[in-house]
Amino acid sequence: MKTSSTSIANVLSIAGSDPSGGAGIQADLKTFSARGCYGMAAITALTAQNTQGVSAVQALDPGFVAEQIRMVFADVRVDAVKIGMIANAGIASAIAGALRPHRGIPVVLDPVMIAKGGASLLDPEAVAVLRDELLPLATLLTPNLPEAAALLGEAEAENRRVMESQAVRLAVGGAAAVLLKGGHLAAADSPDLLVLGESVHWFEAPRIETKNTHGTGCSLSSAIAAELAKGLSPYDAVAVAKDWLAEAVRLSGTLSVGSGHGPVHHFHALWQ
């Protein structure tokens, strides 16, 4: 849904909570604000985590997740939706059911499966539900290489040729478009691949040497959702979001948060 020139876009995040503030709902809301949108949140799961890892996850009742989404749509104009951590199959199905009456609104699906520290954030049974029920609702799917491999049930891509093959097959399998993130490649650069219909677009980027990468996937998908909510095309939304995130990662060292994988600097353009 494209907002009017005088209306601030409203974006809904459906994701888990990160009490340390670097990922999940907290990162999504910061991103929406940084990109000039009004952020809303339906929480799927509570986590106990910090920059060093996740110690516990408490998934919410699927019916309650669906009710959060229903109440937002019943009262607020929603211009785009970002889906992050869904935790289990019941929640995935509940989200799909809650969003089906609202087809036409841009949906960015970030298939959060594994935390930076290695903890599993998605029940294996939920992968099939995500693939069968949520993917067909998605305007854009934003997996990293391990997530793409899990969705396809095969080995992780180790080069650009396999990346392209996997991204194309994911697009054919459901989502309208796929942004496959290449940060896990063993290379000096960090290329991402966008598949839009019959077209393939590579976004080249140098690898930024930093340990402050907590919430990069959440923040990128949320930034894309914000730009889609403002009326940008998928290609332009990805380009703008990637440029913003690159600066957020590059300037992350100006923050001092935790001793593990620190967060990116969402408000790098606003804070002095």
Per annotation, catalytic residue among 30, 116, 181, 242: 181
9, 229 Cβ separation under 8 angstroms:
yes
Among 22, 24, 217, 262, the one annotated catalytic: 217
210 is catalytic: no
DSSP annotation string for 228-256:
HHTT--HHHHHHHHHHHHHHHHHTGGG--
- Catalytic annotation, pick one of 21, 24, 182, 218: 218
The residue annotated as part of the active site, out of 21, 22, 182, 215, is 215
Query: Is 139 considered catalytic here?
Result: no
Catalytic status, residue 216: yes
Distance CA 181, CA 266 (A): 19
d(CA 261, CA 257): 9
| Residue 218: active-site member | yes
Mark whether 173 is an active-site residue: no
Catalytic residue among 97, 173, 213, 231: 213
- Both tokens assigned to 223: 């930034």
- Is residue 82 part of the annotated active site? The answer reads no
Catalytic-role residue among 31, 90, 216, 230? 216
Distance from C-alpha of 136 to C-alpha of 100, rounded to nearest angstrom: 10
Residues assigned a catalytic role? 181, 213, 215-218
